[in-house]
Amino acid sequence: MTNDAGWTESARQFQQMLGESWSHMLQALQPGELGKAMSMPPSSPVTFAADKLAALQHQYLEEVRAFWGQGLSPQLPKSADRRFAGENWANNPLSVYSVAAYQMQARALLGLVDAVEADEKTRARIRFSVEQWLAAMAPSNFLAFNADAQKKALETHGESIAKGLANLLHDMRQGHISMTDESRFEVGRNVATTEGAVVFENELFQLLEYKPLTPKVYERPFLMVPPCINKYYILDLQPENSLIRHAVAQGQRTFVVSWRNPDESLAQKTWDDYIEGAVLTAIAKVQEIAEVPKINVLGFCVGGTMLANALAVLAARGQDCVASATFLTTLINFGDTGILDVFIDENFVRLREMQMGQGGLMKGQDLASTFSFLRPNELVWNYVVDNYLKGQTPPPFDLLYWNSDSTNLPGPYYAWYLRNFYLENKLIQPGALTVCGEQLDLNQVKLPVYIYGSREDHIVPADAAYASTQVLPGKKRFVMGASGHIAGVINPPAKKKRSHWVREDGKLPATLQEWLAGADELPGSWWDDWSEWLKGHAGKQVAAPKDYGRAPEFKAIEPAPGRYVKEKA
């Protein structure tokens, strides 16, 4: 077709096809949680803004004309996209054409997303689905178009293809894409190596106590509650980036909850079971071991949400046994759940309640896949390209080893969490939740708190972390760090990387943007700021204990990291 009528009819058919395919884009391509969430029907009819659609049609026609007008002398489109960078791409006409066509179609699809007239959740779901589809269909993911992979195959006389096939078969057997050389790591040998012992255990968790690194420790012990959706050793990867070791080196008598990886024997466990039988039990056991009336506590991510529940239960019971609390990238007010909001609506939560609300397991690999596909180019498709198309073995990286070490969740726990927090945001509503037989009211949780959020966090947005300052009534300190959900937290001072923001006037206005207007950016890690704050709530220094636990009730059961953390999903 060369005349305007032909171009217009072609574009009209293309737009009609896209308009009819939105419901299909909300379905396939994604495993586990992603597929189920994206298959939910839109919450309002999908239509397009006429003016935006007309402008998009005109732009698309012009780009198509320009594209075919390049003839036999294509030019690689100017782009900062690292997937198509390098001389190999620029010198391969077929690859150049594939990238140009892909980017043209991507602009058209994303333009259609912008033209959608629907409620915000529907728009967000459509955008998320389109972005997933675009990430999957990039020319770099296919050997026929990937100029780098083709050149490597020629240089290695096909050996890279053979290795790529072997890598693919290996990953199919293990059930997930290899992000790192997992054979190079072993929990307890070169990750999770801070010296300590298990001093208590039940069916839900082991309580680890760490060997002091200082002759004196603060009298109030310090308990960390990591998320049970992951394994605790994200806080203890290597000695040089271990938040656990850092706390011990600061003179804190440190305890950590190491969650059991649930199997069918725990498939009936509820949210109440985890709060009463784990978080509250851990607090009580640390008190008993140290023989003190109060301890300091820290919750990370979901562990922070669980800790907030436990503190509200203690307040309802009139038990004043926690001196201070730290919340790292924690959701307490679920009004802004970031990108995860695309999964949550009544239909999706009801489906999960039907599937596992009365028993069952939320498989760790499904959860891991979901979180990986939140950043598909960085955490999925680049490994497909490197591992399978180029036949490379990914380099060893402790954080990615941890990321692949998935954990299950009990179905009743998971379904209750989805409804009461993500869907109905009940934790901030006084009396709306009953946990462990107590009505929760965060207004009664009046202890001092340290709240940390990461500026580029896509799981707990910085605004959402900051929102806790408007809910908790005690004396508060908020600090924001650079980077994301994990890299922002695991940022040891010795690395002298990134930066953090503090506000010394103590003001906590309604929004993060207002807070930032009066904040100062400081170079390096936030860890030292937090360490000084924690020392202010830790009491006087006393001689460090010579043994783990406290005889005769709490003896060392086995060396840290213990056996629970080594259980695979």
Q: CATH number, domain at 426?
A: 3.40.50.1820
Instruction: Tell me how far apart the alpha carbons of residues 503 and 478 are, in angstroms, rounded to a whole number.
Output: 8
Contacts 24+ apart (CB under 8 A), 20-24: 22/46, 22/126
What DSSP state is assigned to residue 96? H
Helix or strand or coil: residue 471?
coil
For β-strands 361-362 and 476-481, DSSP reports them as unpaired
Residue with tokens 């109030």: 220
Looking at the fold, whether 389 and 436 belong to one and the same domain comes out as no
Instruction: Tell me how far apart the alpha carbons of residues 566 and 569 are, in angstroms, rounded to a whole number.
Output: 10
Q: Are 458 and 484 in contact (CB under 8 A)?
A: yes
Instruction: Tell me how far apart the alpha carbons of residues 480 and 454 are, in angstroms, rounded to a whole number.
Output: 6
Q: Are 220 and 539 in contact (CB under 8 A)?
A: yes
pLDDT band at 392 (very low <50, low <70, confident <90, very high): very high
Looking at the fold, whether 16 and 118 belong to one and the same domain comes out as yes
Q: Are 425 and 341 in contact (CB under 8 A)?
A: no
| 421-458: pLDDT as tens digits | 999 999 999 999 999 999 999 999 999 999 999 999 99
Rounded to a whole number, what is the distance in angstroms from the first to the last CA of the chain?
56
Looking at the fold, whether 82 and 119 belong to one and the same domain comes out as yes
Q: Of 111, 58, 102, which Cα lies nearest the Cα of 79?
A: 102
Helix or strand or coil: residue 323?
strand
Looking at the fold, whether 505 and 534 belong to one and the same domain comes out as yes
Q: Is residue 554 part of a domain?
A: yes
Instruction: Tell me how far apart the alpha carbons of residues 295 and 303 are, in angstroms, rounded to a whole number.
Output: 17
Of residues 504 and 79, the one with the higher pLDDT is 504
Helix or strand or coil: residue 164?
helix
Active centre residues (catalytic) = 301
- pLDDT value of residue 281: 98
Work out the average pLDDT over 227-254: 97
Looking at the fold, whether 176 and 286 belong to one and the same domain comes out as no
Looking at the fold, whether 423 and 521 belong to one and the same domain comes out as yes
Q: Is residue 162 part of a domain?
A: yes
Looking at the fold, whether 558 and 472 belong to one and the same domain comes out as yes
Q: How many domains does the chain have?
A: 3
The residue among 120, 147, 174 that closes a domain is 147
Work out the average pLDDT over 510-532: 97
Of residues 244 and 89, the one with the higher pLDDT is 244
Looking at the fold, whether 143 and 167 belong to one and the same domain comes out as no
pLDDT at position 503 over 60: yes
Looking at the fold, whether 76 and 133 belong to one and the same domain comes out as yes
Looking at the fold, whether 459 and 482 belong to one and the same domain comes out as yes
Q: Is residue 190 part of a domain?
A: no
Residue with tokens 């500026």: 455
Tokens linked to 83: 């997937």
Q: Is residue 191 part of a domain?
A: no
The residue among 349, 375, 405 that closes a domain is 405
Q: Are 304 and 332 in contact (CB under 8 A)?
A: yes
Residues 6 or more apart whose Cβ sits within 8 Å of residue 150: 88, 92, 143
Looking at the fold, whether 397 and 440 belong to one and the same domain comes out as no
Query: 487: domain range?
Result: 196-359+408-566
CB atoms closer than 10 angstroms to residue 158: 12
| Cα dihedral 344, 346, 349, 353 in deg (nearest 10) | 180
Looking at the fold, whether 281 and 313 belong to one and the same domain comes out as yes
Instruction: Tell me how far apart the alpha carbons of residues 130 and 22 are, in angstroms, rounded to a whole number.
Output: 9
Q: Are 454 and 488 in contact (CB under 8 A)?
A: yes
CA 172 to chain centre: 24
Instruction: Tell me how far apart the alpha carbons of residues 331 and 459 are, in angstroms, rounded to a whole number.
Output: 9
* Phi, psi (rounded to 5 degrees) for 215: -65, -25
| 305-343: pLDDT as tens digits | 999 999 999 999 999 999 999 999 999 999 999 889 998
Cis geometry, peptide bond prior to residue 509 (ω within 30 degrees of 0): no
The residue among 405, 436, 462 that closes a domain is 405
Work out the average pLDDT over 99-126: 90
